[in-house]
Structure 1
Amino acid sequence: MSDKTRGGQFIVKETKCEDVFTPEDFNEEQLMMRDMVKEFVNKELWPNKDRFEKKDFAFTVECMRKAAELGLLGIAVPEAYGGMGMGFVNTVLVCDYISGATGSFSSAFGAHTGIGTLPITLYGTEEQKQKYVPKLASGEWFGAYCLTEPDAGSDANSGKTKAVLSEDGKHYNITGGKMWITNAGFCSLFIVFARIEDDKNITGFIVENDPKNGITLGEEEHKLGIRASSTRQVFFSDTKIPIENMLSERGNGFKIAMNALNVGRIKLAAACLDAQRRVISGSVKYANERVQFKTPISQFGAIRYKLAEMSASCYAGESATYRAAKDIEDRIKVREAEGASDQEAELKGIEEFAIECSILKVAVSEDIQNCADEGIQIYGGMGFSEDTPMESAWRDARIARIYEGTNEINRMLSVGMLIKKAFKGHVDLLGPATKVQEELLGIPSFETPDYSELFAEEKEMIGKLKKTFLMVAGGAVQKYGPDLDSHQQLLMAAADILIEIYMAESSILRTEKLAKSVGEDKVQEQIAMAKIYLYKAVDVVTQKGKESVISFAQGDEQRMMLMGLRRFTKYTNMPNIIDLRNIITKKLVAENKYCF
């Protein structure tokens, strides 16, 4: 199996720009799909933002039915069960563009098509899929996912909801309470996780929503954002579930939950992208129209700084999300070619890139929050008003750092999963980490490199940042071994290094590929965004690298590592960041929107 398709390999190998998929590579079908989704959002959702903000739950359901009529609820569902059976990139693309107008609809859509439907398509028996998936794909039924409990959030496997087998062995009685259940107010079906007897792991069940079967709902939660997304508590009291509605095998629920969340994480990243584009476009338009001191504020350096930085982070998010989506799609095809079933191929394809899914979830959810925050600042006092779209964008963005696993959990997961892959021999961290140790003890080269090619220095810098991660991760594993899990601040610092490398590299590879296709002169703004993102990434790696090394190394070892860190984060030719920002903003202001 090719290394090209292995998750986590990016940290120990150099990726060629020809080997990454970018938004510029969308085929005709994907472009048509994108335009159809944008038209739906612009016609049905964007003009009615106020209805979502006023908690019009019925309108959310109405829009979900309209999305179903377009086939959008069945993009990822196999054709055999009434779906469109499209590839993973198409699935991500729809999640991206359908999420631009409001987090309320985005949450309802994501919960239904992802964690509400996918567990059945990925783990269900043929009978379960035939019975339920066509109804979910068509929008006849809506799905919800019941995992979280008052005492079981990030520690999802600690849930206390019980499933007790009846005396005749024909059904289970489920009793317990779930909270923060998206779509609870209008769903027809729940994916419920409960514990049988004293099993170590929870078990998944398909539960039809029937109030006569011991199911009651709490009141709608009053939330900071995503206000028209139905969020309720769900209570089960001796709810009878036929034994044939067990999902997968007994005790397999935790695995189902985690794999469903892996898919949800990359889709959540995608769901932040068009929201970010719209925030940037709105900010640019306002900055062009708002005149102070007889000058549009888009001409002021303080505003241009913000617009350029917002755009660079959005561009990097797009680059990394579609890179990972295509890697997952390719991996699924490899598995299928080896004879795996559709279910097994998709499961293993997504699981392979769980590290990248966690990276994307953290990076893009934080970028949309920062972007919306700057959007409010550009609008000034008006940004704080409900009359402009910025304050709702900021509120809706806030949840993205919490659901699908908090960003803190995902940071620790990304590094933890990578180290586990190394122990399993799926990613060779030890060899490259040892080489970095040897390099630290050697004499550095003082030759002046040839940086005549586009991104030559930037790609060398990415390579050096990877050495920084290997130095930090290798040193931490050596110091703490299996106890590394208990050093959470160190893990989170290492995760930040890992995240910045993946995002910066994705941005550079996308731009290099684009420049080779259309010419450097036509992508000066993209080149500027990629360079800005890397520049900022180097700052993060410097700070987090220093924090990490000081936490576990002392004496000569610490001095050697800190010297190595300085070497690995040093530019030969420091980019003029202010000039780069002005290149980006000139284009934004002229186009009056995010135009990349």
Structure 2
Amino acid sequence: MNDKTRGGQFLVKETKCEDIFTPEDFNEEQLMMRDSVREFVDKEIWPNKDRFEKRDFALTVESMHKAAELGFLSITVPEAYGGMGMGFVNSVLVCDYISGATGSFSSAFGAHTGIGTLPITLYGTEEQKQKYVTKLASGEWFGAYCLTEPGAGSDANSGKTKAVLSEDGKYYSISGQKMWITNAGFCNVFIVFARIGDDKNITGFIVENDPNNGISMNEEEHKLGIRSSSTRQVFFADTKVPVENMLSERGNGFKIAMNALNVGRIKLAAACLDAQRRVITNSTKYANERIQFNTAISQFGAVRSKLAEMAASCYAGESATYRAAKDIEDRIISRETEGASHQEAELKGIEEYAIECSILKVAVSEDIQNCADEGIQIFGGMGFSEDTPMESAWRDARIARIYEGTNEINRMLSVGMLIKKAMKGHVDLLGPASKVQEELMGIPSFETPDYSELFAEEKEMIGKLKKAFLMVAGGAVQKYGPDLDAHQQLLMAASDILIEIYMAESTILRTEKLAKKDGEAKVQEQIAMAKLYLYKAVDIVTQKGKESVISFAEGDEQRMMLMGLRRFTKYTNMPNIVGLRETITTKLVTENQYCF
């Protein structure tokens, strides 16, 4: 396997801009797919936004059927089961653009195509796939996923739902309670996780939704957002499930659940992107139209600063999401070329980039929340009203930080998985961390570097931020060893450094690639966004680095590491942040929309 395709290696390897995929690299098929999804959303979803806000569950079902007719439910389902058999980037692209108008439809779509269908596609037998995936791909049936319980949320493997084998060995009787089940009110089939006997790990089952088979539900939940997404508690009382409906092997349920969540995490990041674009576009249009003191508020510096920051975070989210999506797709293709089945290749391809999936989930879900919050602020009092789309965008965005594992869990996972990869020899952290330690003990260079090339200083800064992470992570591992998991605040801070490195590097590389293709003069706004995002990232690394070092180091060691942190976060030529924001906002205001 080509070593450079390893997940997590962005931290210790220099990536060239030519080696990453960007939205500007979409091929003709992908551009057509993007445009058809946009057209569907603009025609069927956005005009009905008010109805989605009024708990119109029938509209959600109707819209899902329309999406199915256009083939959107079957993008990555293999052709053998009625799908389009498209690549991973295409599936991420559809998740991106189908999610812009309302979180209600986005949640229904994501739950069905992701955790409702994928477990059977990836782990099912041929018979199970022929029976269920064909119906799920066509929209004849809809799927749901039953993992969470009242006492089992983040600790998913602690569920109490039981599965008992019948005396004749023909079926299991499932009994238990599941909650927060998306699509429960209209689904035809559940992926249910239950424990057999005293097994250490849960087991997955495919359960048809039949109220005459011991399945009942509470009324729809009243939620802060995603109001027309069906969310119910589901109760199983001796629900009989044929033994042939066990998914994969006994005790393999936790693995199924975790791999389904890895896919869900990058797709959830994608599902926040078009929501951001629409918030920025609506905010820009309102700022151009709203006159105060005889001037459009888009001309006021306080508003212009917000618009620029919103655009930069969206641009960064696009850059990192599509970079990771193509890396996953390439990994899948590589494994298939080596002889793996499509199922195995997809599972291993996604698992390889679990760190990046967690990073994206955290970063982009928080960016859409901040973006929607600033959108409300730009709209002022009107932003607080249901008459404008801002307040529903803010409410819908809030669930993204909880879905697919909370952001706190994902922060700790990203660092934990990286350390485990290092221990397995998949990512060499020890060598680079040792070099950073040597550098801290040495005399810093006082030579004036050559920054004549575009992004020369920015790429050097990315390299220094990586050293900051290696310094913090290396010191923390030395101090706490296997007990590091117990120091959650330290892990969270280290994770924020890791997140900013991946997001900022992806943004710089995308823009460098674009500048080489189109010329620097034509991409001044993208250059400004990349530099602005990096500047903010350096601030975060500085803050989180201090917090980390002070938490585990003392005396001379602490002083040395804090000096190293200052060295690793110091610009030679500080960028003019106000000027960068002005460049970005001038373009936004002129185009009257997010136009990147």
The two structures have a TM-score, normalised by structure 1, of 1.00
Matched, 1:565 2:565: yes
Query: What's 2:339 paired with?
Result: 339
1:438-489 deviation digits (Å, cap 9, x = unpaired): 0000010000000000000000000000000000000000000000000000
SS in 1 for 2:86: coil
Contact 1:421 1:427 in 2 (8 A): yes
Contact 1:100 1:273 in 2 (8 A): yes
1:203-228 deviation digits (Å, cap 9, x = unpaired): 00000000000000110000000000
Query: What's 2:220 paired with?
Result: 220
Letter in 2 for 1:167: E
Query: What's 1:466 paired with?
Result: 466
Post-superposition shift, 1:188? 0.0
Q: Take 1:285 and 1:416, find their aligned partners in 2: how far apart are those partners? A: 43
Post-superposition shift, 1:191? 0.1
Contact 1:226 1:396 in 2 (8 A): yes
Q: Take 1:134 and 1:246, find their aligned partners in 2: how far apart are those partners? A: 18
Matched, 1:452 2:455: no
Post-superposition shift, 1:4? 2.2
Q: Take 1:544 and 1:202, find their aligned partners in 2: how far apart are those partners? A: 37
SS in 2 for 1:523: helix
Q: Take 2:261 and 2:413, find their aligned partners in 1: how far apart are those partners? A: 12
Query: What's 2:204 paired with?
Result: 204
Letter in 1 for 2:369: Q
Post-superposition shift, 1:233? 0.2
Query: What's 1:314 paired with?
Result: 314
Query: What's 1:188 paired with?
Result: 188
Letter in 2 for 1:155: D
Letter in 2 for 1:205: F
Q: Take 1:422 and 1:196, find their aligned partners in 2: how far apart are those partners? A: 34
Contact 1:3 1:9 in 2 (8 A): no
Query: What's 1:360 paired with?
Result: 360
Letter in 2 for 1:156: A
Post-superposition shift, 1:327? 0.1
Matched, 1:5 2:5: yes
Query: What's 2:550 paired with?
Result: 550
Matched, 1:289 2:304: no
SS in 1 for 2:141: coil
Letter in 1 for 2:105: F
Query: What's 1:42 paired with?
Result: 42
Q: Take 2:481 and 2:194, find their aligned partners in 1: how far apart are those partners? A: 34
Q: Take 2:66 and 2:263, find their aligned partners in 1: how far apart are those partners? A: 24
Q: Take 1:486 and 1:84, find their aligned partners in 2: how far apart are those partners? A: 45
Q: Which runs of 5+ in 1 are unaligned?
A: none
Matched, 1:122 2:122: yes
Query: What's 1:33 paired with?
Result: 33
1:60-83 deviation digits (Å, cap 9, x = unpaired): 000000000000000010000000
Aligned pairs for 1:357-506 within 5 A = 357-506=357-506
**After the TM superposition, which segments of 4 or more aligned residues of structure 1 sit over 2 Å from their partners?**
none
SS in 1 for 2:526: helix
Query: What's 1:348 paired with?
Result: 348
Letter in 2 for 1:536: K
Query: What's 2:514 paired with?
Result: 514
Q: Take 1:62 and 1:153, find their aligned partners in 2: how far apart are those partners? A: 31
Contact 1:329 1:349 in 2 (8 A): yes
Post-superposition shift, 1:153? 0.1
SS in 2 for 1:366: helix
Query: What's 1:250 paired with?
Result: 250
SS in 2 for 1:277: helix
Contact 1:74 1:82 in 2 (8 A): yes
SS in 2 for 1:241: strand
Matched, 1:532 2:532: yes
Q: Take 2:128 and 2:2, find their aligned partners in 1: how far apart are those partners? A: 34
Post-superposition shift, 1:3? 2.4
Contact 1:171 1:241 in 2 (8 A): yes
The two structures have a TM-score, normalised by structure 2, of 1.00
Q: Take 2:261 and 2:476, find their aligned partners in 1: how far apart are those partners? A: 28
SS in 2 for 1:149: coil
SS in 2 for 1:187: coil
Letter in 1 for 2:167: E
Letter in 1 for 2:550: I
Q: Take 2:156 and 2:285, find their aligned partners in 1: how far apart are those partners? A: 44
Matched, 1:70 2:70: yes
Post-superposition shift, 1:434? 0.3
SS in 2 for 1:240: strand
Letter in 2 for 1:76: T
Letter in 2 for 1:170: K
Post-superposition shift, 1:583? 0.2
SS in 1 for 2:192: strand
Q: Take 1:490 and 1:552, find their aligned partners in 2: how far apart are those partners? A: 9
Q: Take 1:578 and 1:51, find their aligned partners in 2: how far apart are those partners? A: 41
Q: Take 2:3 and 2:461, find their aligned partners in 1: how far apart are those partners? A: 23
1:339-382 deviation digits (Å, cap 9, x = unpaired): 00000000000000000000000000000000000000000000
Query: What's 1:263 paired with?
Result: 263
Query: What's 1:141 paired with?
Result: 141
Q: Take 1:587 and 1:548, find their aligned partners in 2: how far apart are those partners? A: 39
SS in 2 for 1:574: coil
1:87-108 deviation digits (Å, cap 9, x = unpaired): 0000000000000000000000
Q: Take 1:4 and 1:273, find their aligned partners in 2: how far apart are those partners? A: 27
Q: Take 1:549 and 1:337, find their aligned partners in 2: how far apart are those partners? A: 45
Query: What's 2:305 paired with?
Result: 305
SS in 1 for 2:527: helix
Matched, 1:328 2:324: no
How many aligned residue pairs are there?
A: 596
Post-superposition shift, 1:263? 0.1
Query: What's 2:132 paired with?
Result: 132
Contact 1:141 1:187 in 2 (8 A): yes
Letter in 2 for 1:549: V
SS in 2 for 1:495: helix
Q: Take 1:558 and 1:590, find their aligned partners in 2: how far apart are those partners? A: 49
Matched, 1:23 2:20: no
Matched, 1:156 2:169: no
Query: What's 2:583 paired with?
Result: 583
1:26-59 deviation digits (Å, cap 9, x = unpaired): 0000000000000000000000000100000000
Contact 1:225 1:396 in 2 (8 A): yes
Post-superposition shift, 1:2? 1.6
SS in 2 for 1:499: helix
Q: Take 2:278 and 2:6, find their aligned partners in 1: how far apart are those partners? A: 34
Matched, 1:278 2:278: yes
SS in 1 for 2:21: coil
SS in 2 for 1:467: helix
Letter in 2 for 1:100: G
Identity %, equivalent residues: 89
Post-superposition shift, 1:421? 0.2
Letter in 1 for 2:492: M
Letter in 2 for 1:147: L
Letter in 2 for 1:517: K
Q: Take 2:482 and 2:334, find their aligned partners in 1: how far apart are those partners? A: 33
Q: Take 2:139 and 2:355, find their aligned partners in 1: how far apart are those partners? A: 32
Q: Which runs of 5+ in 2 are unaligned?
A: none
SS in 1 for 2:175: strand
Q: Take 2:403 and 2:46, find their aligned partners in 1: how far apart are those partners? A: 24
1:154-208 deviation digits (Å, cap 9, x = unpaired): 0000000000000011100000000000000000000000000000000000000
Q: Take 2:65 and 2:290, find their aligned partners in 1: how far apart are those partners? A: 39
